[in-house]
Amino acid sequence: MVDQILTDRFGRSFPYLRLSITDVCNFKCTYCLPDGYKGEADGFLGVDEIRRLIAGFAELGTRKVRLTGGEPTLRKDFLDIARVVSQTPGIETVAMTTNGYKLPDRAQSFFDAGVNAINVSIDGLTPERFELITGKNRFEEVMDGLKLCQEIGFSPVKVNAVLLKDLNHSELDAFIDWASTGVNLRFIELMETGENGAYFEKHHLSGDVLVKKLEATGWVEAARDALGGPARVWKHPNHKGSVGLIAPYSKDFCTTCNRLRVSAKGGLHLCLFGDGGHDLRPYLQKDSDKDALKETICELLDLKVAGHGLHEHDTGATPHFASIGG
């Protein structure tokens, strides 16, 4: 039963929750954790805490949950988490974002546990470039996993790629050609965080470069999906796939915000680049605390601001993208 729809003071509603279930990642992506994960690998929300959290959000109108990290599949209880989320009344879509680690061996189990949409991070289209960016020689494994996800029936299956000047921008045409074969591609502008300032200055590339390429070759911008993420999406009348762009530095980016974030330790983050989060964990210890949880979420939503401060290099409390699900 939906009690109310989460809506902030700017009229934005929030049917979409991004839930990080771990900060740990086993890749060393240059734009995120170039030296690997260094923190503690414990203290994350347990399955029962997650069940209570999702139940509360569902009664506030949440219909889509994305399981993120870190790398969410490193949780040994990942399948249990997926099941409790997918079995929550009111949740229609359970999505996940993964680096593709062991995906060929595990994709079917994810689907069977209730995950019905998946994003796979692929930042380079050759084994050499993939390893240069991720620090891992797993290109073929990830590509095989992606193909299997398409065959199993995840819908949608998307590919995430961070736009990186001098690292993968020379592959833009190849990426677009790949999308035309039926791949749903999502480019993400590199964003500045607390730890990547020098890297950002060196490798940030405006998404306008991609938009000009698409519009020059007959791709047409499509209408937004109400439960979709922040991407603008283009489709081509002669091709099957799609190309999306998440461009947080673009004008009015925050006006269409429809998602909230909860960190792996239970912090509610009203913005990826906001403050350090608001602790919901005290309200996740007993089923009987659901009303207090919902009331707290609604009160905290009043603190959400109109937009981020990235243009002023204000990255908030986000040290890197593994910290609250990127």
The 10s digit of each residue's pLDDT in 13-22 is 999 999 999 9
**Which pLDDT band, with edges at 50, 70 and 90, does 254 fall under?**
confident
pLDDT at 271 over 90: no
SS (H, E, C) the chain: CCCCCCECCCCCECCEEEEECCCCCCCCCCCCCCCCCCCCCCCCCCHHHHHHHHHHHHCCCCCEEEEECCCHHHCCCHHHHHHHHHCCCCCCEEEEEECCCCHHHHHHHHHHCCCCEEEEECCCCCHHHHHHHHCCCCHHHHHHHHHHHHHHCCCCEEEEEEECCCCCHHHHHHHHHHHCCCCEEEEEECCCCCCCHHHHHHHCCCCHHHHHHHHHCCCEECCCCCCCCCCEEEECCCCCCEEEEECCCCCCHHHHCCEEEECCCCEEECCCCCCCCEECHHHCCCHHHHHHHHHHHHHHHCCCCCCCEHHHCECCCCCCCCCCCC
**Which pLDDT band, with edges at 50, 70 and 90, does 323 fall under?**
low
Classify residue 317: in a domain, yes or no.
no
What's the domain range around 279? 16-312
Classify residue 3: in a domain, yes or no.
no
Classify residue 265: in a domain, yes or no.
yes
pLDDT tens, position by position, 137-172: 999 999 999 999 999 999 999 999 999 999 999 999
pLDDT for residue 169: 95
Least confident of 63-67, 72-76, 213-217, 274-278: 274-278
Classify residue 254: in a domain, yes or no.
yes
Classify residue 57: in a domain, yes or no.
yes
Classify residue 280: in a domain, yes or no.
yes
pLDDT for residue 39: 82
CATH number of 183's domain: 3.20.20.70
Classify residue 318: in a domain, yes or no.
no
Classify residue 321: in a domain, yes or no.
no
Is pTM, for the whole model, over 0.85? yes
- What the block records as the tokens of 280 is 């919901």
Average pLDDT over residues 117-130: 98
Measured torsion, CA atoms of residues 294, 300, 305, 309, in degrees rounded to the nearest 10: -110
Say how many domains are in the chain: 1
